[in-house]
């Protein structure tokens, strides 16, 4: 290395160091915008939400928040039946919805895993629902489920079937949401399952076939555990 270059590098490092050997404020200044954004969009809303959980604040009555401690939690757990109804609906959506998505995703992945050159275009087509923003998908299904002008009831009427109030009937609304969620997120689980299937060594299946294993045994003993 040129001695002059080394001298300039040492001089530059010395200029950036404090007399005590520590770096100056420059690194913190570069990090300041990211830290400010992090505080603005995550830390401050979190602390503000935690504050709201321990106060009683009725905007229609007063602008002053009254500290109530854990009373909000006890009221919602023991006095508000809507909370447990919401928990039941959420649990049903998670167990049934995600379970159906996982089963269908694994099934589609196994079918696509045996496809040759058409695998890539088929995967691209099936992934279109995942690329749609959830808000947009929600508005789409809201229009589809419209009991007066929606295309779903129109198709049912075309075949002589009676339309339903898909989002107004309590017995149907939750399953309508499950169907919409199933349509959007099943391809994502299919993609994950397909990646897992392609990572399983093919030699294991060949050995299982030689040993006389049935397709179900190969799935239960090889595919599912390794997936």
- The pLDDT score that the predictor gives to residue 13 is 53
Q: Which of 16-25, 80-89, 218-227 has the lowest mean pLDDT?
A: 16-25
Round to whole Å and give the CA distance between 87 and 95.
Answer: 12
- The pLDDT score that the predictor gives to residue 63 is 72
Of the pLDDT bands very low, low, confident and very high (cuts 50, 70, 90), residue 15 is low
What is the tens place of the pLDDT at every residue in 64-80?
A: 788 888 999 999 999 88
- The pLDDT score that the predictor gives to residue 144 is 94
pLDDT higher than 90, residue 56: no
Q: Is 108 exposed, middle or buried (0-12, 13-18, 19+ CB in 10 A)?
A: buried
The number of beta carbons lying within 10 Å of the beta carbon of residue 107 is: 13
pLDDT higher than 70, residue 30: yes
What is the tens place of the pLDDT at every residue in 167-208?
A: 988 889 999 999 999 999 999 999 999 999 999 998 999 999
Nearest to 69, CA basis, from 57, 56, 83: 56
- The pLDDT score that the predictor gives to residue 81 is 86
pLDDT higher than 60, residue 18: no
pLDDT higher than 70, residue 5: no
What is the tens place of the pLDDT at every residue in 83-131?
A: 999 999 999 999 999 999 999 999 999 999 888 788 889 999 999 999 9
What is the tens place of the pLDDT at every residue in 137-165?
A: 999 999 999 988 889 999 998 888 888 89
- The pLDDT score that the predictor gives to residue 46 is 92
Contacts of 153 (CB under 8 A, 6+ apart): 146, 147, 163, 164, 166
Of the pLDDT bands very low, low, confident and very high (cuts 50, 70, 90), residue 14 is low
pLDDT higher than 60, residue 1: no
- The pLDDT score that the predictor gives to residue 190 is 95
Round to whole Å and give the CA distance between 114 and 219.
Answer: 14
Round to whole Å and give the CA distance between 54 and 111.
Answer: 52
Round to whole Å and give the CA distance between 9 and 15.
Answer: 10
- The pLDDT score that the predictor gives to residue 116 is 78
pLDDT higher than 80, residue 37: yes
- The pLDDT score that the predictor gives to residue 4 is 63
Q: Which alpha helices (DSSP H) does 79-118 contain, by range?
A: 81-92, 99-113
């Amino acid at each position: 290395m040129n001695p002059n270059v080394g001298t300039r590098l040492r001089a530059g490092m010395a200029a950036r160091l404090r007399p005590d050997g520590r770096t100056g404020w420059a690194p913190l200044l570069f990090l300041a915008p990211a830290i400010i954004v992090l505080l603005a969009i995550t830390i401050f809303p979190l602390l503000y939400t935690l504050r709201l959980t321990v106060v009683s604040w009725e905007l229609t009555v007063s602008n002053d928040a009254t500290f109530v401690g854990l009373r909000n939690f006890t009221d919602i757990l023991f006095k508000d039946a809507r909370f447990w109804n919401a928990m039941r609906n959420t649990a049903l959506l998670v167990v049934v919805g995600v379970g159906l998505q996982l089963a269908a995703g694994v099934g589609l992945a196994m079918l696509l895993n045996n496809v040759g050159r058409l695998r890539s275009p088929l995967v691209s087509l099936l992934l279109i629902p995942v690329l749609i923003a959830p808000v947009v998908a929600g508005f789409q299904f809201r229009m589809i489920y419209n009991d007066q002008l929606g295309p779903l009831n129109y198709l049912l009427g075309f075949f002589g079937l009676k339309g339903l109030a898909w989002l107004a009937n309590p017995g149907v609304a939750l399953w309508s949401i499950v169907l919409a969620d199933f349509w959007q997120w099943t391809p994502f689980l299919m993609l994950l399952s397909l990646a897992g299937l392609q990572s399983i060594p093919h030699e294991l299946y060949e050995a299982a076939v030689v040993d006389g294993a049935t397709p179900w045994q190969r799935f239960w003993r090889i595919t599912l555990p390794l997936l």
